[in-house]
Amino acid sequence: MQAATVVINRRALRHNLQRLRELAPASKLVAVVKANAYGHGLLETARTLTDADAFGVARLEEALRLRAGGIAQPILLLEGFFAAEDLAVIAAQRLHTAVHSPEQLAALEQADLPEPVTVWMKLDTGMHRLGVRPEEAEAFYQRLSQCKNVRQPVNVVSHFARADEPTCGATERQLDIFTTFTEGKPGLRSIAASGGILLWPQSHYDWVRPELSCMACRRWTIAPPGKISAASR
């Protein structure tokens, strides 16, 4: 039996990146390449998407592979760090990190770092996977704002639960929570991943985070015609 193979069309990857940028022209574009770029190859995909403003990964090890491979753009740890000792590496490599738990916050406050790190506070607006609950968010944000190890201002990130369902009211509710919390705060904002980019232009804010739409690993029936091309077969 022959081993399964995947053929990657680099031109299609770059095409998709450009089309997504056209859909969110006022936003920075963070290409999410976690899980080995969804099986497409971490470094190969990142090197193909050189026009991305930043990259998003799930694990510190992925970020370090990108840095070792010559990727100089900002890299966001979407799930944050898992050990206090990771913070020194994050600072040295100038990575961005999500912060979503009391344990991460305490580690930041207690760390002795040579320079502050760029932080994205993860607000749970309705995904209920990771994030600070809305009723606890302001106090959490204020502690980050006063932390010497956090580069100011604090940025805020969240994630839609059902953005690819345009008639579902959950996305409007999440947007309302996110907008209410971030209004008047000076940091960057990001809530739109692939579904948000394609269906919810009011959610684009400062950074958008395309993942599967960039790789075109699934059939995007909600995408505008001609916008997204299949990048693998």
Per residue in 126-174, pLDDT tens?
999 999 999 999 999 999 999 999 999 999 999 999 998 888 899 999 9
Q: State the chain's mean pLDDT as an integer.
A: 92
Place of tokens 């309302």: 176
pLDDT band at 232 (very low <50, low <70, confident <90, very high): low
Record the tokens describing residue 226, joined without a space. 């001609």
**In terms of Cα–Cα distance, which of 196, 206, 179 is closest to 27?**
206
pTM reported for the whole predicted model: 0.92
Place of tokens 């506070």: 121
Q: Which amino acid is at 153?
A: P
Domains of the chain (ranges; CATH) run 10-215 (3.20.20.10)
